[in-house]
A and B are shown apart, each in its own frame.
Chain A
Amino acid sequence: MSTIAMPAPDQDIIARKDEIVAALAAVLPADAVIFDPEETRAYECDALTAYRCPPLAVVLPRSTAEVAAAMGVCHRMGVKVVPRGAATSLAGGALPTADSAIIGTMRLREVLEIDTANRFIRVQSGVTNLSVSAELEPEGFFYAPDPSSQLACTIAGNIGMNSGGAHCLKYGVTTNNLMGVTLVLATGEIVELGGPEPGAAGLDLVGLICGSEGQLGIVTEATLRILPRPEGARPMLIGFDSAEVAGECVARIIRSGVLPVAIEYMDDVCLRAVEAFVHAGYPDCTAVLIVEVEGSEAEIADQTARIQAIAADLNPVEFRPSRTEAESLAIWKGRKSAFGAMGRIGDYLCLDGTVPVSQLPFTLRRIGEMSKEHGLEVANVFHAGDGNMHPLILFDANTPGDLERAEAFGAEVLRLCVEVGGCLTGEHGVGIEKRDLMRRQYSPDDMAIQMEVKTAFDPGWLLNPAKVFPLDESRLFREGAARWT
């Protein structure tokens, strides 16, 4: 059923499995190398579960030195490496090939330094996103990027994908909160980029590494910017009878000078599913916005009043500010269970395109039309403040051809996102899922220079080689690299 192809594995490497495993075992603790096919199967996919392939071997190091040793062996023997955090990627970023070794960061779990005076934390990259903020809570600080997989996803994966979250309208995404990394290069060489000082010298290599999807090296340690926890936060719910008017409300709030930490959007399909699932008590209308503001009680009241005035001009069906912690939880309850609620209805494909906020109403209308044309229902639930849409295309995995139809619909939506001035992926990454759509956003030269950058870091094209770039475009680089090694 899979419509996304991976290159044929290198049979020579597969034939040398015993030799490769022995070489890895020689430089690593015994429990750090997994090669039994029964055990490697556990690593056959990430959260894009339609695509699976067990790797040749899995390496789970506990230190930068062990990552470097494993990378050195793979480099010497010409083995491809697939970096893996917690494998929550929805784009196939951590999908292995049969001739590859996974190097996982999941055992790199130490918090190395918390410095609240200088406002940073230094961690090994396998710590989970949520545990970073948990470590900081007693100090009154937090780490801002909060992808919805934050319970499971690791800092290594966040850096690989430049993860965002619900609060990036105010706090930015990973790249705005990353100060330095320890990077293991394809050769096994270790370099330190950036650090606790604000702004590294020379070229911004930290900025390049962030979001490079494991193409340039493996991050083993990271210095993260931390922020004091706000005094309080309070959401409000605003319901509208029209998607266009809801979109207009988002633009007016942003223009007004009030900067909410989050503006979330849910459409009627999603609202009905959520009501049936958790009875969140949302109004029965076309679109709901959840807007959250932060600060002291007085600051929250001030900002809430300003947003209420903006909304009132647009005749909302309902304006419901939270007055208590219980009301806040009730307002967020439906949004937080939206994906689960949709999953109850059936299988879905979650898209991740971003559009300029001014194009939200038009894009929503077009997606509705496409839904009728393709005969597949779609629900919209997304971060409206930054235009990062997550249309969920509903399909039935047991109906032959349904996944392919959903993928075709999805590709059309992403092309629409690019056409209106947006992009293919706002926070999930390209991986294998959107690899071939890169042509829609970038010219051959735009992609060539990115592949040349990869070549400069990884001349053998051993790191995650069949991801991000269309295979036809990367073929010359991959084959050239094979000759080079």
Chain B
Amino acid sequence: MDVSLASDVAPGDEAELAAFVADSAAGRRALRVIGGGTRLPFSGDGVTLTTRALRGIVTYEPGELTLIARTGTPLDEIEATLAAQGQALAFEPMDHRVLLGGSGTPTIGGVVAANVCGPRRVQAGAARDHLLGVRFVDGQGRVIKNGGRVMKNVTGMDLGKLLAGSFGTLGVLTQVALKTLPVAESRLTLAFPDVSARQAVEIFCAALGTPCEVSGAAFLNGTAWLRIEGLAGQVAHRRDRLAALLRGRPVEVLDDAATRGLWRDLRDVRYFADVAGAVWRIVVKPTDAPAVLDALAPLGGRSSLDWGGGLIWHVGPGGADAVRRAVRQAAAAGHATLVRGDPAADGPVFQPQPAGVAALSAAMRRTFDPAGILNPGLMAG
């Protein structure tokens, strides 16, 4: 394939993609691996290789909660197909375009490669928890499959987990099998106005410690929200139980439609889209979150909480060193990733890891990509 003329390379099938990667490995040609290119604002060096031409749903079996799709399939197409059967991707992948701008089309491959999730992570986990199997091309151009299409599978090593969240540094995903789930019949939100971050996390810990299957727990601008989903009767029961548990706190109830809109905006961090500054995604133990917010406050900017306190979104002027120092000061464990900003000024994008873990990660990079051509420079590689 003549790459000198093309602005990017978009193979139409897996074999063509594998041949291109093999050729790139032989020539030590660095590749910038993307799906729709909507999730990372940082462009490394090299020829852009996109999976966007690997399109199409291969199998969808609503009765067994399984979807198999080529990785370039637009996320919209997948969500519409599932919605027609009353199902969805339960991990609620956020749309990074709201924060980052850009006009690309999010792909299902990008969702897996970036291990995207949303507010429902507290209950349903992230993309990796719903990934049943993968096909990918490794850094030598070998086509590899791992896992399958069934929920219980312990046949050999689980390389899918490693590929999910590897941002294209271990291989180019060509096909993914995902677990789907029925969309809840009914939903509502309990809103607790005029609370501090500390009070919000107390509410979250209490609510998430009940069997009410709270599927969202977020805090912004002095309001804490809890989302409840389920069968209609379940939602009513859980609303009453949580209201009783948190008695004494003023509470407002948002209906189904308002709940859908609110959590879509929370998922996409829409409220920080127009706020200037670098955007950080900080993951901590939930009860450490209020102290981390205190430590971030002197840097300026604004913060919100999701995942019951386990996720802090922070927008502001602080660079990587200042933000990560604040997290270290206030939290026993945690890490900060730059989601929007200038990596040269604000980075590094990914938090540097302890030596032992970094050595294992580097060994995985060399194993999957001995020539070092897949997204070099990304993820401390």
Contacts and interface: CB of A to CB of B under 8 A. Distances in A.
State whether these chains interact.
yes
Interface of A: 116-119, 140-141, 161-162, 164, 168-169, 172-173, 175-176, 189-193, 195-208, 210-212, 215, 227-231, 251-252, 254-259, 294-296, 298-299, 302-303, 306, 354-358, 383, 386-388, 421-430, 434, 438, 441-443, 445-450, 452-457, 468
Contacts of A230: 211
B154 A204 contact: no
A442 B147 CA distance: 9
B137 to A, nearest CB: 10
A201 B353 contact: yes
A446 B86 CA distance: 35
B227 interface: no
Given A445-B142, A449-B368, A203 B154 contact: no
Interface string B350-375: 11011011101101101110000000
Contacts of B364: 203, 205, 208, 453, 456
Interface residues of B, number: 85
B208 A208 contact: no
Interface of B: 61-66, 85-86, 115, 121-122, 125-126, 128-129, 138, 142-146, 148-159, 161-162, 164-166, 170, 181-185, 205, 208-211, 230-231, 233-234, 237, 241, 283-287, 307, 310-311, 331-335, 337, 350-351, 353-354, 356-358, 360-361, 363-364, 366-368, 379-380
A204 B115 contact: yes
Most A CB contacts (10 A, CB to CB) among B121, B143, B182 go to B182
B209 A428 contact: no
A295 B235 CA distance: 11
B161 A207 contact: yes
A306 B233 CA distance: 12
Contacts of B231: 257-258, 299, 302-303, 306
Contact of A355 (B150, B157, B360): B150
Contact of A387 (B152, B158, B310): B152
Most A CB contacts (10 A, CB to CB) among B138, B156, B234 go to B156
A291 to B, nearest CB: 15
Contacts of B166: 203-204
Contacts of A355: 150
Nearest to B357: A191
A271 to B, nearest CB: 24
Given A199-B126, A450-B156, A422 B148 contact: yes
A203 B149 contact: no
B361 A450 contact: no
5 contacts: A191-B354, A203-B361, A228-B211, A303-B231, A453-B364
Nearest to A448: B142
Contact of B209 (A172, A173, A228, A449): A228
B172 to A, nearest CB: 14
Given A117-B209, A387-B150, A162 B357 contact: no
B156 A207 contact: no
Given A197-B334, A449-B367, A452-B367, A255 B182 contact: yes
Given A117-B286, A212-B157, A421-B148, A205 B361 contact: yes
B367 A298 contact: no
Nearest to A383: B152
A197 B138 contact: no
B64 A254 contact: yes
Contacts of A354: 148, 150-153
Contacts of A231: 211
B152 A426 contact: yes
A452 B364 CA distance: 9
B145 A118 contact: no
A305 B102 CA distance: 48
A195 B85 CA distance: 37
A199 B283 contact: yes
Contacts of B284: 197
Nearest to A168: B152
B153 A426 contact: yes
Given A449-B144, A453-B159, 17 more contacts: A119-B208, A162-B154, A176-B125, A196-B332, A197-B285, A197-B335, A199-B121, A205-B361, A228-B210, A254-B64, A298-B237, A302-B234, A383-B152, A422-B150, A426-B150, A441-B156, A450-B157
B67 to A, nearest CB: 12
Contact of A197 (B144, B161, B184, B283): B283
For the complex of A and B, the 10 pairs showing the least CB-CB separation, nearest first, are A207-B161, A251-B63, A426-B152, A201-B335, A257-B182, A357-B64, A191-B356, A456-B363, A198-B310, A386-B151
Nearest to A165: B152
Nearest to B353: A202
B112 to A, nearest CB: 12
Contacts of B154: 161-162, 211, 425-430
A442 B166 CA distance: 22
A254 B379 contact: no
Contact of B153 (A257, A302, A423, A452): A423
A238 B271 CA distance: 50
A201 B182 contact: no
B278 to A, nearest CB: 17
A400 B122 CA distance: 55
A198 B307 contact: yes
Nearest to B62: A255
A208 B157 contact: yes
A256 B65 CA distance: 11
B150 A254 contact: no
A442 B152 contact: no
Contacts of A199: 115, 121, 126, 283
